[in-house]
Structure 1
Amino acid sequence: MTSVPTPDPGPGRQSRPAPHDQRSRPVPRPRPPGPADEPFDLLGIGIGPFNLSLAALADGVPGLAAAFYDQRPDFRWHPGLLIDGATLQVPFLADLVTLADPASHWTFLNYLKHRERLFPFYFAERFHVHRAEYDAYCRWVAESLPSTHFGQQADTVRWNAARGLFEVDHTHLDEHGEAEALDRTYARHLVLGIGTEPYVPEPLRPLADAPAVPVVHSAQYTENRERLLAAEHITVIGSGQSGAEVFLDLLRARPAGYERITWLARTPAFAPMEYSKLGLEHFTPDYTRYFHALPEQVRDRLVPQQWQLHKGIDTETITAIHDELYRRTLDGGWPDAVLTPGVSVRTAGRLGSREVELHLEHAEQGTRSRLVTSAVVLATGYRERPLDRLLAPLGPALRTDAAGRPAVDALHRLELDRSVTGRVYVQNAERHTHGVGAPDLGLAAWRSAVILNDLTALLTGEEHYPLPVRTAFTTFGLGGPPPAATGTATRTAALRHG
């Protein structure tokens, strides 16, 4: 999702969607400025939900010259996982802006109003919306904001000390992804939201060498669904929500008694996601601040232990899977489906031209076995895209931790040498410093507001978005909870002053 610069929509603008009879038509995009143009105050690279949240909130900051770029031709959110009926795992209030600015034009409820769907949503009484609906909402925002620009591929970022600006070299791409022109844009500050990429563990990578056998990551599931269903036997690998949704969809599509599906997971159980009210407070700004203040070795130990906070399966999906399996026993017999947790894949490879062979090991039994299958879905998650290539010229100025990862301060800024006076913010590249909430949609608006407050405080001396000082009933660590909010104190100010 790496992207690039574009033109400044002009200071103080309040963009709005097109009138009623044109509202589905994208706002025309001017081309990115050349080096002679005024620099942006903030240039965003990547337009996923997090930078889109920042773009939407930045739209409400008068005088802020901001632009956001992505190399893709348009916005798409995990299109390979838009399975019929699949829902978002956070409430609709965790949209792009509401938890920072519920009066924003870019709320999910206002999207429904513009689509004349507010009353149907009201009567549906849904707290968790369909993934396809969230994708459509984000596309509405991305197409309506004048600061978002697609078909722009960021290539390199440099610091121009003489001008006190960042230089971003970028390529204009046509609708087919082919290069049209090279350009350079300047910005005072950057925000990197280049997102994550599908992760395939090392033992499973040889499966990609079997072109005649459908072996796909769950990120490409829907586009390969018919090919997978045509396979004699299907194996799903992965214990999280994506693996569960893929397994359920395949199960529902296969005839009773002839399912021939195996579901494998490394976790000791197909476990539900932690969704208790107090457990969810790990996704509050309070916990993020507590986590960031912990020693690096403690943070590194905590993240793997907290897998059930973000890698478990929601109870509705678990229930639906059990209900479907149970329904297939009503006429006697058992479905031809195998669900085995506690299993890891040691090695994998081709077996002829139509099958792959998985060598398995059970953690608790200490036993090994072999599984031959004719299709594999790798629901093995995602990893943060490395920043190295894009930021290579800044390498000497970047500070890292003991593990060589970028050091990120409490305000989501990369820690840079003092010679670089511009700020580089990161979104969803700081789990090692900010914890399990870094990739969570529920913290998107708050993090965007923290970034904008830091920027507006620098540019104007004032923070634009008032934020709560306390957000959780739980007090994380000793020393007592933060004081109750009074006056205009904000969490950003608390973070800035320690």
Structure 2
Amino acid sequence: MTTQQPYDLAGIGIGPANLSLAALAHTQPGLTAAWYEQRPAFHWHPGLLIEGATLQVPFLADLVTLADPTNPWSFLNYLRHHQRLYPFYLSERFHSPRAEYDDYCRWVSRGLPSLRFGHHVDAVRWDAAQGLFGIDYTRLGPDGEAEAVGRAHARNLAIGIGTAPHIPGPLRPLAERPVVPVIHSADYLDHRERLLAAAHITVIGSGQSGAEVFLDLLRHRPPGRERLHWITRTPAFAPMEYSKLGLEHFTPDYTRYFHALPEQRRDELVARQWQLHKAIDHQTLADIHDELYRHSIGGGWPDVVLTPGVSVRTAGRIGTTQVELHLDHAEQGERSRLVTEAVVMATGYRERPLDPLLAALDPLLHRDAAGRITVDERYRLGLDREVTGSVYVLNAERHTHGVGAPDLGLVAHRSATILNSVTGEERYRLPERSAFTTFGLRPGGGGEETPGGGAAGAGAGAGGQRQGARRVSV
């Protein structure tokens, strides 16, 4: 078992959230840090890097720019490094292709010496005698086999283990024994050719991923013989709220306002705000309609069925080549049966639970009325006073910070807030105001002291216990 000097900050998981934190930490003098990830290299949603798909956030929502435009790990510096600044400039792009964002993040990950890929974190515990967190890990070989065990120590932790594909209960038995292709959209490209060979395909779910998968299938099925179904529980194939004032829900101002609300009110808001982050980009909807229209040229309607307001009640296999879905229509109160040869579940993602990783810390964790771990304004878990270090969470705080928690446009601000807290200094000067909207009646809308929702020093680390799907999940 290997040991080393304690780090100021150790991260667990390397997705865009922790990669942003590592990139901003890299330029900070005197700060020692390391990040651990079980995968052998960085990849961002590889199964959904469909040709032509773009990010739903502007290129400025990279890992660092909205906190530090001069940081060497910016997207613009990535373009410069690859001698692509002028082509990007002349293309007049504001939204980058998804594949380019993935390549940008991999470029950053290859340049940061603090990243430890191929390391599976087995356990985390608090060592009160040393005042340090202990991180037990297993170093993995090229094929994922265990090669060695080790232990690191850190004064603070940053946990960004991301989300996992969600498979609804009725479809779980089919996905676990996929004789017929029943796959989550996260694995779409790995199974694309097999899906296209199926006689009939059903897409379930009407978020951006479902729309992109449906559009890609539609573009590659012959007109008049598309044989596609697209169903969703939502009452419509709804456009995402993308007005400029609507997007102010993805600002630090709104995050502070939301965090200051009572727990019950926060839960009610998250449930109502699905169209801010679970709906479909306007251009994607337009592209789907254009493609359907193209397939109708010649006088025939495409062999396509798009039905909202439908949920899957039960599902089962018919032999080895078909699946039957038993459907409920919410508004009609009717039921029907759909037989298909392949299913793509664009049913979203769920936050990976922190409890298994933090089992040794469980007696020290604070929880809310619903049993969830509390998170303060600075993204710190609520811990008993005997724990002098901090545990920060990234993209596991929607219940406390709102719909912007997984949004790429807020990753740099969150990272800067965490680093200010870790260092106890205002290493990154964060905006006192970021939205024209004032979200509450009191000045700042949520208990802040400056007009418009800006809390002076809200991102600074002067002590005290304060703290991706719109859009694109991290």
Decide whether the 8 Å contact of 2:435 with 2:452 is kept in 1.
no
1:18 paired residue number: none
Decide whether the 8 Å contact of 2:438 with 2:452 is kept in 1.
no
Q: Identify which of 269, 272, 290 aligns with 2:257.
A: 290
1:87 paired residue number: 54
Question: Superposed, which structure 2 residues align to 1:97-496 within 5 Å?
Answer: 97-457=64-424, 462-481=425-444, 482-483=450-451, 489=457, 491-492=459-460
Q: Residue by residue, what CA displacement relative to the aligned partner does 1:324-358 show, whole Å, maximum 9, x if unpaired?
A: 00011110010001000010111111111111110
TM-score, normalization: structure 1? 0.90
Q: Residue by residue, what CA displacement relative to the aligned partner does 1:59-89 show, whole Å, maximum 9, x if unpaired?
A: 1110100111100000000000000010001
CA drift of 1:495 comes to 11
CA drift of 1:212 comes to 1.9
CA drift of 1:489 comes to 4.5
CA drift of 1:493 comes to 6.1
Distance 1:149 1:284 in 2: 31
Decide whether the 8 Å contact of 1:229 with 1:254 is kept in 2.
yes
Decide whether the 8 Å contact of 1:469 with 1:483 is kept in 2.
no
Q: Residue by residue, what CA displacement relative to the aligned partner does 1:336-389 show, whole Å, maximum 9, x if unpaired?
A: 010000101111111111111100001111100000100000000000000111
TM-score, normalization: structure 2? 0.95
Which blocks of at least 5 consecutive residues in structure 2 are unaligned? Answer: 445-449, 467-474
Decide whether the 8 Å contact of 2:11 with 2:158 is kept in 1.
yes
Q: Residue by residue, what CA displacement relative to the aligned partner does 1:176-215 show, whole Å, maximum 9, x if unpaired?
A: 1111011111111000000000001112212224432000
Distance 1:440 1:78 in 2: 15
Letter matched to residue 130 of structure 2: R
Distance 2:147 2:459 in 1: 44
Q: 1:485 to 1:196 in 2, by over 3 A?
A: closer
Distance 1:219 1:112 in 2: 27
Q: Residue by residue, what CA displacement relative to the aligned partner does 1:442-494 show, whole Å, maximum 9, x if unpaired?
A: 0000000000001111xxxx2100001110000011112324899x9454469
1:24 paired residue number: none
Distance 2:145 2:358 in 1: 23
Letter matched to residue 126 of structure 1: R
1:43 paired residue number: 10
Question: Superposed, which structure 2 residues align to 1:7-86 within 5 Å?
Answer: 36-86=3-53
Which blocks of at least 5 consecutive residues in structure 1 are unaligned? Answer: 1-33
Letter matched to residue 434 of structure 2: T
Distance 1:113 1:135 in 2: 16
Letter matched to residue 65 of structure 1: T
Decide whether the 8 Å contact of 1:355 with 1:373 is kept in 2.
yes
Q: How many residues align?
A: 461
Letter matched to residue 237 of structure 2: F
Decide whether the 8 Å contact of 1:209 with 1:350 is kept in 2.
no
The secondary structure found in structure 2 opposite 1:321 is helix
The secondary structure found in structure 2 opposite 1:390 is coil
Distance 1:201 1:485 in 2: 38
